[in-house]
Amino acid sequence: MRNNRKVLLLTALAMVMALAITGCGKKSKTVATINGEPLSEASYRGYLFSVKMEMEQGLGPGIWEIEMEGESMEKIAKERALESAVAMSVTSAKAKEMQLKLTPEQKEEAKTIAANYVAQLKGPLAEEGVTEDVIREMMEDIIMSQNVLEELERNFTPSEDADEFEKFVEENKMSLETVTAQHVLISTLDDDGNPLSEDEEEKAKEKAEEILEKALAGDDMGELAKEYSDDPGSKDEGGEYTFGRDEMVPEFEEAAFNGEAGKVHPELVKTIHGYHIVKTIEKTEPTEEELKEAFKENQKAEYISSELDEWITGAKVEKTELYDAIEIKKPEPEPEVEDSDQDDEQDELDDEGSGEEKDDDQE
């Protein structure tokens, strides 16, 4: 089941990076060739700009001063940008081989998305020399890559091998289970999402313990949730959720799945959100049909992932000297605040004060 995510992530990565491609209509020096096709400096800088934004958002602007496993973050960013360029290049080439074309509706969709994108990032895009037409063209390429994936899906034929299915069920049955549970949340965060003070959190815990006692004594969990819960997503529904594995915070999920149907968890469950009183209502295993459908979808995801990996790893990529010369435009360091003027002013005040004291002594 994890392979579904792998395909989605790979596709999303290629799409996100493509959004920032710059200068597609300009003549530019070549940074690399991909299966003989030149990757222009302007286009590569677009990929690099997008990777730079992503990495700085994740780890802050100071990321360029650190290393990871002996490599500079700049080198890592450059390689990621090149990998993204390769992914989009080979996908575009396959679209031509498959003789795929965009529909009028898809072209209109690309136009609308491009307009919205430019409206949101007008300043940064202008600095990079990116026009709305360039973004629209790249959005068309992105939608075309979606068409390629859909074509791969149509060409996929699932296996009906009984042994493979049995192995899949053994490895994935638990991950396909669902549970229905009720909970009451007593939050330990303020309205801005910041942790409460120690005294306030202790009061929240005491309140949660009182509600837990009521639940264990047989009070209706739905009514308790409606009266006390700080979870707006389930409060009006009696605190009820139905969910699968890896969908909730781990402590809450563990209590719900490990609990006995119809029983309240005997202890408070502490999560990043606060204190939970949890009652397991029902655990449901996947049906035979659901397992077969999941098996089919998993095979499909593995097939698409394998095809994409083959295209990307099989691409012949040759860097030019320009690739090594390109550097990331790093944020300007913030100027240091100089306190010398303030110190001089303070010294003058101190001197004046000392003089007054001497005059008083002389008097």
Under CATH, which number does the domain 178-284 receive?
3.10.50.40
Give the three-state DSSP class for 334: coil
Q: Give the pLDDT of the chain (363 residues) as one tens digit per residue.
A: 334 434 444 444 444 444 433 334 445 689 999 999 998 887 787 778 778 878 888 888 888 888 888 899 999 999 998 998 898 889 888 998 999 999 999 999 999 998 998 888 777 777 666 678 777 877 887 888 889 989 999 989 988 889 999 999 999 999 899 999 999 999 999 988 899 999 999 999 999 999 999 999 999 999 999 999 999 999 999 999 999 999 999 999 999 999 999 999 999 999 999 999 999 999 999 999 999 999 999 999 999 989 989 998 999 999 999 999 988 877 666 555 555 555 555 555 555 554 544 444 443
- 216 with 264: CB under 8 angstroms? yes
pLDDT number for residue 129: 61
For the chain, report the end-to-end CA distance as a whole number of angstroms: 91
Please give the C-alpha separations between residue 105 and each of 83, 101, 111, in angstroms, as whole numbers. 30, 12, 10
Distance of alpha carbon 36 from alpha carbon 89, whole angstroms: 11
pLDDT number for residue 46: 72
Say which residues have a Cβ less than 8 Å from residue 51's Cβ, sequence separation at least 6: 17, 77, 80, 81, 84
As beta bridge partners, residue 332 has none
pLDDT number for residue 17: 41
As beta bridge partners, residue 178 has 244, 284
Amino acid symbol at 225:
A
Every domain of the chain with CATH number 1.10.4030.10 lies at 2-159+294-325
**pTM recorded for the entire structure:** 0.60
pLDDT number for residue 137: 77
pLDDT number for residue 352: 52
Every domain of the chain with CATH number 3.10.50.40 lies at 178-284
pLDDT number for residue 89: 87
Given CA atoms 222, 223, 229, 232 in this order, what sign does their dihedral have? positive
Under CATH, which number does the domain 2-159+294-325 receive?
1.10.4030.10
Please tell me the total number of residues recorded for the chain in this structure.
363
- 239 with 224: CB under 8 angstroms? yes
Closest CA to 48 of 20, 88, 23: 20
Quickly tell me which residue has 């029983």 as its tokens.
263
Please give the C-alpha separations between residue 212 and each of 228, 270, 348, in angstroms, as whole numbers. 11, 13, 65
